[in-house]
């Protein structure tokens, strides 16, 4: 096994481009920016999860010394709403608030203290309304409607075969309902930015986001400026994980800057970030899955209920992703999935690393473990029996890019030392164990779609330029939010063009300086950059070498691009530097490419064409005195094609694993009656290095089928997805208790009641999961 590490990749292991500045603290995030003469902005948010607004009086706040502007819904010149897919979140609420983060007014003042105090002078009269704090309650016909169209944001369904007939053929049936929590993104840099009205009438927005062009489009609708009158600078970002894909403070900073004609700085406190920011969708997933006597899956029925909170964000798209992934890579002729995402007065849910796959795979893999136990066979063997073979269709029976990735990662896990020696690891350690410490090993399988899916615009672009001072500038509209995109781009350029790091300028995260590449999301950026460079390398190098041929009198076929300039192929001698070449150009040498993420021909909205596969083994210790779980060692196998950036690849899997350990064991933004009980990181426990002290071995499977034209797949999300179900399986292996709700409750693991398998479900029972 060729485990990925510094020794195994040799010279490809490079210090990341922004690494030194990050670890020394020299890197300036956009929220670190300040400007002479700037004002400070603050937003007044609702104290109630659900209420009518009877009146808003801003007179006292406007009159307070140092206050320059106070804005409400009356001061929005354009659309009073935002949202990437559905702009139904008000910039400022006019008649009704639907959660405790809803904005009612905004203030710009000379100091932070004055701005904060001015919020207390704004008098808002509310009439409180019944609070819908549970998605089940939202579906109750007696509940008030949160939006004119009702409380259902979105529904999805997929049915094939006859699931009732399938269950009648089953020898074993497992029914379980899984619950997943409201998880915070917990980025280091909370939302904020600097908003600058320019003398030429333009507006410059320095604010972290995952899609500067999408922000620009939405801000143009709100402010009525033309899109090209707004410049969005969006990198570097102090973490996002999906949490900054939607607008957050940008509407308020932009409106305040335009109203005052002065720069305005905004920066959310951690509490305001918790209160107003996005979270992972909490979901309830009920599954009923049956197998025949030989262990083949005969019927699979799923009901998903997701809490999207007060406004849409990307709730419909997340639900579509979950609907697709609760089916997974397993063969089954009878499938019935019904899913719904509903509005509530809880906190905002939205995009989060894994995009609904984490919830789906936790439930699906839990079913696989339970079914294997009913059959009395090894859970990994059971998965192997039911995996679709190479060349099969996707979860909806739709065409996908041919791959043997599923079988490759299945085999890799079977051969991994951590899985092969799990009995030894659990029971035969040479170290004496305290009697209440139990060790277990569990595994999970992951199938993850890349890109936005069929039916959603998913275009990309890139540009290469030989600049006037002899640099090769690569410009993309993606963002660096910690994932190592800059380093990945640098390595791809070096290996594509043969140039040196000092030959390059990397331009990203600026709508004035880079083409529209689409969002830095959905595990798409690396794949799209690679495709762009493949598209441009031929034309770009041809232009460079043709010019060199003219000046050197040597056939272009004998030349190549290399470090510092054009070189002779046969000797690698430097003949013409890029700087000299630039001075010889009569016109700029530049190439630009535009293309679309590959999509399937399926009719099912959101279905994917390009999938990545992973398998995960995790070893844990369970302390039955405290009920706490400690993750020990991990093994991840990932079939994602060629590794572009070894250090970044490893970092994404390790970092994703850490985030998922929190999802599994400790993280939940607790709410009661529409109010957050969790207000800061002192009561929200994320894993630290102490919780990730075991070995994390990562085996990349780089092989692709012959003729594959799609190159590397993104791996920014897949490291987060299989960890929770693998931990749950390991906990069961250790102490015999099945976990169906996250984060795992220590009380459940302390209880001194042995696990009971329960009675078999009669095979002639009819499905009863029709509540959705």
- pLDDT confidence tier of residue 763, bands split at 50, 70 and 90: very low
Q: Are strands 297-309 and 96-97 parallel, antiparallel or unpaired?
A: unpaired
Residue showing tokens 């070893």? 619
Strands (E) in 597-645, as ranges, are 610-623, 628-639
pLDDT exceeding 70 applies to what percent of the chain? 96
| pLDDT value of position 650 | 96
| pLDDT value of position 765 | 43
Least confident of 46-50, 173-177, 393-397, 602-606: 602-606
Query: In the predicted model, is pLDDT for residue 406 greater than 80?
Result: yes
- pLDDT confidence tier of residue 770, bands split at 50, 70 and 90: very low
| pLDDT value of position 678 | 94
Separation CA 366–CA 176 (nearest Å): 9
Query: Where exactly are the structural domains of the chain?
Result: 30-129+188-239+244-277, 280-453+602-749, 459-596
- pLDDT confidence tier of residue 757, bands split at 50, 70 and 90: very low
For 703-715, what is each residue's pLDDT tens digit?
999 999 999 999 9
Separation CA 131–CA 434 (nearest Å): 48
| pLDDT value of position 758 | 44
Please provide the CATH number assigned to the domain covering 30-129+188-239+244-277.
3.90.1170.50
Measured in residues, the chain has a length of: 772
Provide mean pLDDT across the span 216-221: 98
Provide mean pLDDT across the span 756-772: 42
For 593-612, what is each residue's pLDDT tens digit?
999 999 998 878 889 999 99
Q: Model-level pTM?
A: 0.94
Provide mean pLDDT across the span 582-587: 91
Query: In the predicted model, is pLDDT for residue 756 greater than 80?
Result: no
Cβ neighbours, 10 Å, residue 427: 11
Q: Cα separations (Å) of 622 from 689, 692, 727, 736, 743?
A: 19, 15, 11, 11, 15
Query: In the predicted model, is pLDDT for residue 762 greater than 90?
Result: no
| pLDDT value of position 755 | 43
Give the torsion sign (CA, 730, 332, 319, 615): positive
Whether the CB-CB separation of 210 and 267 falls below 8 Å is answered with no
Query: CATH assignment of 459-596, given 1.20.210.10, 3.30.365.10, 3.40.50.2000, 3.40.50.1980?
Result: 3.30.365.10
For 157-171, what is each residue's pLDDT tens digit?
999 999 999 999 999
| pLDDT value of position 543 | 96
| pLDDT value of position 701 | 97
Q: Residue 301 corresponds to which tokens in the numbers above?
A: 């029925």
SS3 category, 645: coil
Provide mean pLDDT across the span 135-142: 96
For 499-555, what is each residue's pLDDT tens digit?
999 999 999 999 999 999 999 988 999 999 999 999 999 999 999 999 999 999 999
| pLDDT value of position 4 | 96
Please, is 104 exposed, middle or buried when counting C-beta atoms within 10 Å of its C-beta (0-12, 13-18, 19+)? Answer: buried
For 555-578, what is each residue's pLDDT tens digit?
999 999 999 999 999 999 999 999
Residue showing tokens 């493949």? 534
Please provide the CATH number assigned to the domain covering 280-453+602-749.
3.30.365.10
Least confident of 2-6, 319-323, 671-675: 2-6
- pLDDT confidence tier of residue 767, bands split at 50, 70 and 90: very low
Average pLDDT of the residues of the chain: 94
- HEC sequence for 517-578: CCCCCCCCHHHHHHHHHHHHHHHHHHHHHHHHHHHHCCCHHHEEEECCEEEECCCCCEEEEH
| pLDDT value of position 766 | 41
For 636-649, what is each residue's pLDDT tens digit?
999 999 999 999 99
Query: In the predicted model, is pLDDT for residue 764 greater than 60?
Result: no
- pLDDT confidence tier of residue 428, bands split at 50, 70 and 90: low
Half-sphere exposure at residue 122, Cβ-oriented, CA atoms within 13 angstroms = 29
Query: In the predicted model, is pLDDT for residue 771 greater than 50?
Result: no
Query: In the predicted model, is pLDDT for residue 426 greater than 70?
Result: no
- pLDDT confidence tier of residue 432, bands split at 50, 70 and 90: low
Matching fold, domains 30-129+188-239+244-277 and 280-453+602-749 = no
Q: Are strands 264-267 and 39-45 parallel, antiparallel or unpaired?
A: parallel
- DSSP letter for each residue of 255-269: HHHHHHTS-EEEE--
The shares of helix, strand and coil residues in the chain, as percent rounded to the nearest 5, are 30, 25, 45
Query: In the predicted model, is pLDDT for residue 427 greater than 90?
Result: no
Q: Which residues of 163-172 are buried (b: 16+ CB within 10 A; e: fewer)?
A: beebbeebbb
- pLDDT confidence tier of residue 751, bands split at 50, 70 and 90: low
Q: Cα separations (Å) of 655 from 5, 240, 662, 710?
A: 15, 13, 11, 25
Alpha-carbon 350 to chain mean position: 10
Strand order in the sheet with 123-128: 96-97, 51-57, 123-128
Least confident of 237-251, 397-411, 592-606: 592-606
| pLDDT value of position 482 | 86
Query: In the predicted model, is pLDDT for residue 143 greater than 90?
Result: yes
For 21-34, what is each residue's pLDDT tens digit?
999 999 999 999 99
Least confident of 201-215, 222-236, 748-762: 748-762
Alpha-carbon 441 to chain mean position: 27
Least confident of 289-298, 515-524, 662-671: 515-524
Separation CA 545–CA 755 (nearest Å): 71
Cβ neighbours, 10 Å, residue 57: 12
- pLDDT confidence tier of residue 772, bands split at 50, 70 and 90: very low
Least confident of 333-347, 472-486, 559-573: 472-486
| Close Cβ partners of 4 (under 8 Å, ≥ 6 residues apart) | 643, 646, 649, 650, 698, 699, 700
Q: Residue 589 corresponds to which tokens in the numbers above?
A: 């040498």
Cβ neighbours, 10 Å, residue 314: 27
């Amino acid at each position: 096994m060729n485990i990925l590490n510094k020794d195994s990749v040799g010279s490809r292991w490079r210090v990341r481009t922004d690494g030194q500045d990050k670890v020394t603290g020299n890197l300036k995030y956009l929220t670190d920016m300040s400007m002479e003469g700037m004002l400070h902005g603050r937003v007044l948010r609702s104290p109630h999860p659900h209420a009518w607004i009877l009146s808003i009086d801003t007179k006292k706040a406007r009159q307070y010394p140092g206050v320059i502007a106070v804005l409400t819904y009356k001061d929005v010149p354009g659309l009073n709403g935002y949202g990437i897919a559905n702009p139904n979140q008000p910039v400022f609420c006019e008649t009704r608030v639907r959660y405790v983060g809803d904005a009612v007014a905004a203030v710009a003042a000379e100091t932070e203290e004055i701005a904060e105090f001015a919020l207390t002078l704004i008098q808002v009269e509310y009439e409180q309304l019944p609070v819908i704090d549970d998605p089940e309650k939202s579906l109750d016909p007696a509940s008030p409607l949160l939006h004119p169209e009702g409380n259902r944001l979105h529904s999805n369904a997929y049915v094939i075969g006859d699931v009732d007939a399938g269950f009648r053929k089953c020898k074993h049936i497992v029914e379980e309902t899984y619950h997943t929590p409201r998880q915070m993104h917990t980025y280091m840099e909370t939302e904020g930015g600097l908003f600058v009205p320019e003398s030429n009438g333009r507006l410059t927005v320095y604010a972290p986001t995952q899609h500067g062009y999408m922000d620009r489009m939405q801000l143009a609708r709100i402010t009525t400026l033309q899109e090209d009158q707004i410049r969005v600078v969006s990198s570097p970002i102090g973490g996002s994980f999906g949490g900054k894909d939607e607008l957050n403070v940008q509407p308020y900073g932009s409106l305040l800057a335009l109203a005052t004609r002065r720069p305005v700085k905004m920066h959310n406190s951690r509490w305001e970030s918790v209160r107003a920011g996005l979270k992972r969708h909490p979901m309830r997933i009920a599954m009923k899955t049956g197998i025949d006597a030989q262990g083949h899956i005969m019927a699979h029925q799923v009901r998903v209920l997701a809490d999207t909170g007060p406004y849409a964000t990307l709730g419909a798209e997340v639900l579509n992703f979950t609907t697709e992934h609760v089916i997974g890579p397993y063969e089954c002729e009878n499938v019935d999935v019904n899913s719904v995402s509903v509005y509530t007065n809880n906190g905002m849910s939205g995009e989060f690393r894994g995009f609904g796959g984490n919830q789906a795979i936790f439930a699906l893999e839990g079913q696989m473990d339970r079914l294997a136990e009913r059959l009395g066979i090894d859970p990994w063997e059971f998965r192997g029996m039911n995996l679709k073979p190479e060349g099969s269709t996707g979860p909806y029976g739709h065409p996908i890019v041919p791959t043997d990735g599923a079988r490759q990662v299945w085999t890799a896990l079977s051969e991994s030392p951590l899985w092969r020696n799990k009995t030894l690891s659990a029971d035969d350690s040479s170290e004496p164990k305290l009697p209440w410490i139990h060790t277990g090993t569990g595994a999970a399988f992951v199938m993850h779609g890349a890109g936005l899916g069929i039916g959603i615009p998913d275009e990309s672009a890139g540009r290469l330029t030989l600049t006037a001072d002899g640099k090769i500038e690569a410009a993309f509209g993606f963002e660096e939010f910690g994932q190592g995109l800059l380093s990945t781009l640098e390595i791809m350029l070096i290996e594509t063009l043969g140039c040196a790091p000092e030959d390059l300028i990397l331009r990203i995260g600026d709508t004035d300086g880079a083409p529209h590449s689409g969002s830095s999301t959905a595990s798409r950026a690396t794949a799209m950059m690679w495709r762009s460079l493949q598209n441009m390398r031929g034309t770009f190098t041809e232009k460079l070498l043709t010019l060199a041929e003219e000046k050197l009198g040597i056939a272009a076929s004998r030349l190549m691009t290399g470090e510092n300039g054009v070189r002779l192929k046969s000797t690698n001698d430097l003949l013409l530097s890029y700087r000299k070449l630039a001075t010889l150009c009569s016109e700029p040498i530049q190439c630009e490419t535009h293309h679309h993420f590959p999509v399937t021909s399926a009719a099912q909205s959101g279905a994917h064409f390009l999938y990545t596969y992973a398998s995960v083994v995790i070893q844990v210790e369970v302390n039955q005195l405290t009920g706490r779980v400690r993750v020990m060692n991990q093994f991840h196998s990932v079939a994602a094609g060629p590794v572009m950036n070894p250090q970044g690849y490893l970092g994404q899997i390790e970092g994703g694993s850490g985030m998922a350990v929190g999802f599994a064991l400790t993280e939940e933004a607790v709410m009661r009656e529409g109010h957050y009980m969790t207000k800061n990181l002192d009561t929200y426990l994320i894993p630290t290095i102490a919780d990730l002290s075991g070995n994390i071995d990562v085996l990349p499977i780089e092989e692709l089928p012959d003729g594959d034209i799609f190159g590397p797949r993104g791996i920014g999300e897949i490291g987060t997805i299989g960890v929770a179900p693998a931990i749950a399986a390991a906990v069961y292996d250790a102490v015999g208790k099945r976990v169906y709700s996250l984060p795992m409750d220590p009380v459940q693991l302390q209880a001194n009641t042995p696990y009971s398998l329960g009675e078999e479900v009669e095979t002639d029972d009819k499905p009863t999961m029709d509540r959705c």
